[in-house]
């Protein structure tokens, strides 16, 4: 459990604390350890209602607040102003549901951000979503909404307009002294939690001390409000299991329970070994404990064993065995296992590919509100796998997951707007969804925000801002962004040109197999930019990219063979590579095929075929091809001589920046 006191203050005689809380069950392996509560808790210390009076108890979800009767000597807080303030809170905290409770002279408000995880790769494995601190302007909007609630409560309490909250510095909305956490799970040691940031005027009147015990109470209240009391014991047992202290009394008690055959305790011990309790991760020992629990029919442990076999964690990868354990867990209604089983069917791992069966299992998980499955259903609809392609349905399912804070789904919604798939193309809306993911720290979301700034799509083009976002993603190891950072340094866009720096970023991306970066390295070695010119090295990098289907690399290999650079000149080999690139729509390759036909290099000279290929490239607005068409008309090669048509094509080419066309026109 992570607890952070974000703000402390006083307003109109009411003490106020805003606390950020994350409660997870166990380790980061999905199926056992989703984030159970992630969000904020507001505590209001109400003024004394007066002798013989008390505040009416109140416990409700604020999406539909029922009327609460009040005894004659009680004071109700459920006024229209309070209800309106709660509605305003929903707009800025974007919770799934708000929960509120009044007890004695305390009002508690739980504002969850998300209870779902984030998809990793293609196998449906999740880790908890860790909420990034919002931008200052958004944080201020959140604070303003909380203060409006305080004002409404103050009115309900009958307190006069008076003292206002002491204005904290901007950093008061950032994370204060954090609890010590385990790197693997983020679980904290409640006894080591540091104090929050006090207001500049000191602790408000009536405010409880920011002790670890009080903060733990707030966390417990938040979980009880949202999840119910039945899960609390297991939550705290799981959280304590992952403190960075292996030989704790709690560990001994859990081990004793595990030895007695308690499946939950056995799974927790498996998590401890998985997370490297004691400093060393032990797959074999983790698996031994998971199997004990799984053999008793414990669904979470069965799902985890499936992940071990799927990924080859401590065992040889075995899709059939993964499917067996996923099925056992899924048949008990475990949503993560149902999703993982669907992934196997979708990708044909361990069985014949079956999109219909994949959809069936995804629906089971999605109907439980499991966001990753909802996103994956959207993928099937968008791609048209196993059903008719339906962008509207794809967007509907993506939104379900995106509204739960799943960054992958937010990116998928953004992609639909960026590409105009099923909706009118709207770069502004695409940016809005990409920013949601990017603000969570998602590297792909950050990269896509950078792309929009780079291209000036929906925003004014801003090379510096593009580089800033690309760099955020690149620093997380996102290969596409690393390549973009390299491109910026190569071209000096948004930063001073630095070929050495470009090389370093291209190499980082290429080390992850990014084909565009491999092609970029080939170009640098071909032209000797930042490195000694080396056609052989250029060819090596181009082949790495071409083997992944990169059309630019395929075209450039063809050119090296055509010109005999680093290899023996071979027009036939050149034509072969040009055709591979052309099949992927590469305009330069089509122009080069035409050039071979025009000159009879490796083929019989054929002006008609040359014109055919030049037109294909010209239709893609390739200025060089437009120039060559003008040459054919000017010389009457394969077509009647036509100066007017020649000039028309030369003007198009010149407008496209083709220097030879400009020279031709100047000479006329």
The CATH number assigned to the domain holding 631 equals: 1.25.40.10
Tokens describing residue 412: 């998928």
Helix residue ranges, H only, 114-248: 136-157, 212-227, 232-241
Query: What single-letter DSSP state applies at residue 181?
Result: B
Residue 515 lies in a domain: no
Total number of residues shown for the chain: 668
36 inside domain: yes
> How far is the CA of 609 from the CAs of 176, 529, 592, 622, 646, in angstroms?
71, 36, 12, 18, 18
pLDDT of residue 90: 59
Average pLDDT over residues 630-635: 96
366 or 174, higher pLDDT: 366
Check residue 67 and give its pLDDT. 32
CA nearest to 591, candidates 623, 610, 614, 565: 614
Q: Of 229-233, 259-263, 650-654, give the lowest mean pLDDT range.
A: 229-233
Q: What proportion of the chain, given as a percentage, has pLDDT over 70?
A: 66
For the residues 326-338, what does the mean pLDDT come to?
A: 96
Inside any domain, residue 157: yes
Residue 288 clears pLDDT 50, i.e. is over it: yes
pLDDT band of residue 650 (cuts 50, 70, 90) is very high
383 with 359: CB under 8 angstroms?
A: no
CA distance 267 to 293: 6
Residue 453 half-sphere exposure, CB side, CA atoms within 13 Å?
A: 23
Q: What mean pLDDT, rounded, does the chain reach?
A: 77
Burial of 596 (C-beta count, 10 Å sphere; 0-12/13-18/19+)? buried
Q: Which of 211, 238, 265 is the last residue in one of the domains?
A: 238
Whether 337 contacts 299, CB under 8 Å = yes
Q: Is residue 99 part of a domain?
A: yes
- Alpha-carbon span 349 to 390, nearest angstrom: 25
Q: Tell me whether residue 309 is exposed, middle or buried, using C-beta atoms within 10 angstroms of its C-beta: 0 to 12, 13 to 18, 19 or more.
A: buried
Query: Which three-class secondary structure state does DSSP give residue 254?
Result: helix
Q: What is the pTM of this model?
A: 0.64
Q: What are the phi and psi torsion angles at 312 (to 5°)? A: 70, 40
Flag whether pLDDT at 375 surpasses 90.
Answer: yes
Q: Read off φ and ψ for residue 284, nearest 5 degrees.
A: -65, -45
Residue 105: band (very low, low, confident or very high) from pLDDT cuts 50, 70, 90: low
Residue 453: per-residue pLDDT: 97
Q: What are phi and psi of 271, to 5 degrees?
A: -60, -40
Q: What is the mean pLDDT of residues 516-534?
A: 95
pLDDT on residue 350: 85
Task: Give domain status of residue 57, yes or no.
Answer: yes
Residue 14 has a pLDDT of 72
Does residue 119 fall inside a structural domain?
Answer: yes
Domain that holds residue 645: 585-668
pLDDT of residue 37: 57
Distance (Å, rounded) from C-alpha 509 to C-alpha 521? 10
- Is 659 a residue whose pLDDT tops 80? yes
End residue of a domain, out of 238, 261, 278: 238
Identify the pLDDT of residue 254.
86
26-85 pLDDT, tens digit each: 433 333 344 555 666 777 777 766 666 665 555 444 333 333 333 223 345 666 777 677
Query: Pick the residue with more confidence: 111 or 221?
Result: 111
pLDDT band at 234 (very low <50, low <70, confident <90, very high): very low
Indicate whether 51 belongs to any domain. yes
Q: Which of 334, 358, 362 is closest to 346 using CA atoms?
A: 358
- Ranges of beta strands (E only) in 28-157 are 35-45, 54-55, 58-61, 74-75, 99-103, 106-112, 117-120, 125-128
Residue pLDDT, tens place only, 147-183 = 676 677 767 666 443 333 222 222 222 222 222 222 2
666: pLDDT strictly greater than 80: yes
Structure-token match 């560990």, residue found: 251
Residue 497: predicted pLDDT: 96
299 to each of 37, 311, 327, 563, 608, how far by Cα in Å?
Answer: 21, 19, 10, 63, 68
pLDDT confidence tier of residue 208, bands split at 50, 70 and 90: very low
For 436-472, how does the pLDDT look when each residue is reduced to its tens digit (9 = 90+)?
999 999 999 999 999 999 999 999 999 999 999 999 9
Q: What is the largest CA-CA distance in the chain?
A: 107
Q: What is the pLDDT of residues 597-616, one digit of tens each?
A: 999 999 999 999 999 999 99
Please give the average per-residue pLDDT across 488-498, as a whole number. Answer: 96
Report the alpha-carbon distance of residue 574 to residue 259 in Å, rounded. 69
Is a pLDDT exceeding 60 seen at residue 137?
A: no
pLDDT recorded at residue 138: 46
The beta-strand segments (E) located in 12-93 are 14-24, 35-45, 54-55, 58-61, 74-75
Helix (H, G, I), strand (E, B) or coil at 263: helix
- Comparing CA positions, the residue from 297, 306, 294, 189 lying closest to residue 250 is 189
220 HSE (CA, 13 A, CB side): 14
Counted domains in the chain: 2
When pLDDT is averaged across residues 482-510 and rounded to a whole number, the result is 96
pLDDT at position 48 is 67
Q: Given this model, what pLDDT does residue 480 score?
A: 97
Query: Where a domain ends, among 238, 262, 292?
Result: 238
| Inside any domain, residue 374 | no
Q: What percent of the chain has pLDDT over 90?
A: 59
The pLDDT of residue 107 is 72
């Amino acid at each position: 459990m992570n607890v952070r006191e974000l703000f402390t203050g006083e307003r109109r005689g009411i003490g106020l604390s805003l606390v950020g809380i994350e409660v997870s069950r166990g380790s980061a392996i999905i199926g056992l350890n989703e984030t159970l509560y992630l969000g904020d808790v507001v505590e209001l210390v109400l003024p004394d209602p007066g002798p013989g009076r008390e505040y009416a108890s109140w416990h409700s979800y604020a999406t539909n607040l029922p009327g609460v009767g009040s005894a004659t000597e009680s004071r109700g807080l459920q006024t229209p102003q309070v209800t309106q303030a709660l509605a305003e809170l929903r707009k800025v905290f974007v919770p799934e549901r708000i929960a509120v409770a009044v007890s004695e002279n305390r009002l508690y408000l739980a504002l969850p951000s998300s209870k779902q995880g984030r998809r990793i790769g293609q196998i449906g494995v999740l880790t908890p979503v860790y909420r990034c601190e919002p931008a200052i302007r958004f944080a201020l909007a959140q604070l303003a909404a909380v203060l409006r609630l305080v004002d409404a409560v103050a009115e309900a309490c009958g307190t006069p307009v008076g003292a206002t909250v002491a204005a904290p510095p901007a950093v008061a909305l950032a994370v204060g002294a954090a609890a010590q956490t385990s790197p693997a799970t983020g679980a904290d040691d409640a006894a080591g939690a540091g104090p929050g940031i006090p207001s500049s005027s000191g602790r408000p009147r009536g405010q409880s001390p920011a002790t670890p015990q009080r903060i733990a109470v707030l966390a417990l209240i938040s979980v009880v409000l949202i999840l119910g009391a039945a899960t609390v014991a297991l939550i705290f047992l799981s959280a304590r299991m992952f403190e960075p202290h292996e030989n704790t009394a709690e560990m001994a008690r859990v081990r004793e329970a595990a030895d007695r055959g308690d499946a939950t305790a056995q799974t927790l011990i498996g998590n401890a070994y998985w997370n490297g309790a004691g400093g060393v991760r032990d797959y074999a020992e983790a698996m031994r404990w998971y199997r004990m629990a799984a053999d008793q029919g414990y669904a979470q442990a069965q799902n985890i064993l499936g992940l071990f076999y799927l990924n080859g964690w401590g065992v040889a990868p075995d899709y059939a065995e993964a499917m067996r354990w996923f099925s056992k867990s899924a048949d008990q209604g475990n949503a993560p296992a149902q999703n993982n089983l669907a992934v196997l069917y979708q990708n044909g791992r361990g069985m014949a590919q079956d999109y219909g069966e994949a959809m069936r299992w995804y629906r089971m998980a999605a109907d439980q509100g499991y966001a990753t499955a909802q996103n994956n259903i959207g993928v099937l609809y968008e791609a048209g796998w196993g059903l008719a392609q339906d962008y509207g349905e794809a967007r509907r399912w993506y939104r379900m997951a995106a509204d739960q804070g799943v960054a992958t789904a937010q990116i998928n919604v953004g992609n639909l707007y960026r590409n105009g798939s099923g909706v009118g193309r709207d770069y502004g809306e695409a940016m809005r969804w990409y920013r949601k993911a990017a603000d969570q720290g998602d590297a792909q979301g950050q990269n896509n925000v950078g792309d929009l700034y780079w291209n000036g799509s929906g925003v004014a083009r801003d090379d510096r801002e593009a580089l800033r976002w690309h760099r955020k993603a690149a620093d997380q190891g996102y290969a596409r962004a690393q390549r973009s950072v390299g491109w910026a340094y190569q071209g000096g866009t948004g930063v001073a040109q630095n070929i050495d720096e470009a090389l370093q970023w291209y190499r980082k991306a290429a080390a992850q197999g990014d084909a565009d970066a491999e092609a970029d390295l080939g170009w640098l070695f071909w032209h000797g930019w930042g490195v000694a010119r080396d056609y052989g090295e250029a060819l090596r990098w181009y082949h790495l990219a071409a083997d992944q289907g990169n059309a630019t690399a395929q075209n450039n290999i063809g050119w090296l063979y055509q010109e005999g650079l680093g290899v023996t000149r071979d027009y036939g080999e050149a034509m072969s590579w040009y055709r591979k690139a052309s099949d992927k729509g590469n305009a330069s390759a089509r122009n080069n095929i035409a050039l071979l036909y025009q000159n009879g290099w490796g083929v019989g000279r054929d002006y008609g075929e040359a014109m055919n290929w030049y037109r294909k490239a010209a239709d893609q607005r390739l200025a060089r091809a437009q120039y060559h068409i003008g040459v054919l008309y000017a010389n009457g090669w394969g077509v009647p001589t036509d100066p007017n048509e020649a000039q028309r094509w030369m003007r198009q080419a010149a407008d496209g920046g083709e220097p030879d066309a400009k020279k031709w026109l100047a000479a006329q």
